Amino acid sequence: MKAPVRVAVTGAAGQIGYALLFRIAAGDMLGPDQPVILHLLEITPALPALQGVVMELNDCAFPTLHGVVATDDANVAFKDVDFALLVGARPRGPGMERKDLLEANGAIFAPQGKAINDHAKRSVKVLVVGNPANTNALIAQSNAPDLDPNCFTAMVRLDHNRAISQLAEKTGALNTDIAQVTIWGNHSSTQYPDVHHASIKGKPALEQIDQAWYEGTFIPTVQQRGAAIIKARGASSAASAASAAIDHMRNWALGTAEGDWVSMGIPSDGSYGIEPGVIYGYPCTCKDGKFAIVQGLAINEFSRARMDATEKELREERAGVEHLFAK
Ligand code: NAI
């Protein structure tokens, strides 16, 4: 067994938290030989519910769970952590404008970014799941000036996994037969699920699906899957979101498969003409705990227009929260 690592999860008493914590504790995220100490952050009124979750975690007697810290203090929650999954966020209430939503989330992610800056390990890997995930990640990053900006990422992996599953279902392939799918941009309905470089059983995906299905069914289905799940379940996706968060962190920490890539919301460095300084979904490979953008992919006009539209939305979101950035 390795030395334990510390993993912070915010919103730990919520729906995604309940689907996530047991899998992290069981070793699904970092492997069966990597013990973890969970640091769980909640708002004060949710602490009693969180205590119930802690009791259940303990009752599992997981071999890889070496401790649990439950707190409502971000400075305690992020102390010495190696990983932080920021799940807790303010949902959009009735009549709430996007501006109000960004503002309410700024009040959560600015102080959390500062607490991570002040207390986490310098090599911390942060994944923002709470929506609007890309811009919340930008707020946290912008309040952590002492950390490498690349410590902060946002989750588009659920969209990536949804795209794989839709392609597999359509073509009768297995999920493992699908490679090199990309989610560009924002985790919102402007995201662009791109299969121009994807393969199914080693052959180009676009030769195995028709363009009308790709444009008219596949893209909107992936873009609007979150809303479809809310409609069907009466609650937003939780287990699949938790599973995607585990996939994102596992690949970032332990690497991606040879010949494939994953989609991650990461700080743009200007690659593919995207404005630097937004957190944008890119195709990434990971090795030795670092991600790299897959370079040199041909971008046709169809893709360019969609990549630019989702970038525009992210620039607008950024303009709405810039006053929250640390000076
Ligand atoms: P939930 O409402 O069940 O749980 C959220 C939890 O966060 C609550 O227990 C709440 O008390 C806690 N919380 C609120 N403010 C907090 C703070 N300042 N510090 C710590 N905890 C805080 O929501 P659920 O279903 O677990 O979803 C969480 C977030 O994940 C939502 O923003 C949702 O939109 C987002 N989401 C993102 C996805 C993605 O693909 N990026 C997919 C699905 C959901």
Q: How many domains does the chain have?
A: 2
Last residue of a domain, which of 139, 154, 169?
154
CB 74 within 8 A of CB 112: yes
Which residues pair with residue 76 across a beta bridge? none
Q: How confident is the model at residue 292, as a pLDDT?
A: 98
* Same domain for 149 and 134: yes
41 pLDDT higher than 90:
yes
Rg (CA), the chain: 19
Q: Is there a binding annotation on residue 161?
A: no
- Residue 149 is assigned to a structural domain of this protein: yes
Q: How confident is the model at residue 60, as a pLDDT?
A: 98
* Same domain for 127 and 173: no
* Same domain for 229 and 135: no
Q: Is there a binding annotation on residue 27?
A: no
Q: How confident is the model at residue 99, as a pLDDT?
A: 81
* Same domain for 260 and 274: yes
More confident residue, 97 or 72: 72
Residue 210 main-chain phi, psi, to 5 deg: -95, 155
Q: How confident is the model at residue 58, as a pLDDT?
A: 98
Residue 187 appears among annotated catalytic residues? yes
Q: Is there a binding annotation on residue 315?
A: no
Mean pLDDT across the stretch 208-233?
96
ipTM: 0.98
98 pLDDT higher than 80:
no
Whether the CB of 128 sits within 6 Å of ligand 1: no
Cα torsion 294, 152, 37, 112 to 10°: value is -170
Question: How confident is residue 150, by pLDDT bands cut at 50, 70 and 90?
Answer: very high
* Same domain for 287 and 270: yes
Mean pLDDT across the stretch 184-213?
97
Whether the CB of 89 sits within 6 Å of ligand 1: yes
- Residue 327 is assigned to a structural domain of this protein: no
238 C-alpha to ligand 1 centroid (Å): 9
What share of the chain has pLDDT > 70, as a percent? 100
Whether the CB of 86 sits within 6 Å of ligand 1: no
* Same domain for 13 and 139: yes
- Residue 83 is assigned to a structural domain of this protein: yes
Question: How confident is residue 101, by pLDDT bands cut at 50, 70 and 90?
Answer: confident
78 C-alpha to ligand 1 centroid (Å): 17
Tell me the residue type at 301: E
Last residue of a domain, which of 127, 154, 181?
154
**Can you tell me the distance from the alpha carbon of 200 to that of 213, in angstroms, rounded to the nearest whole number?**
16
* Same domain for 163 and 312: yes
- Residue 75, domain extent: 5-154
Mean pLDDT across the stretch 306-324?
95
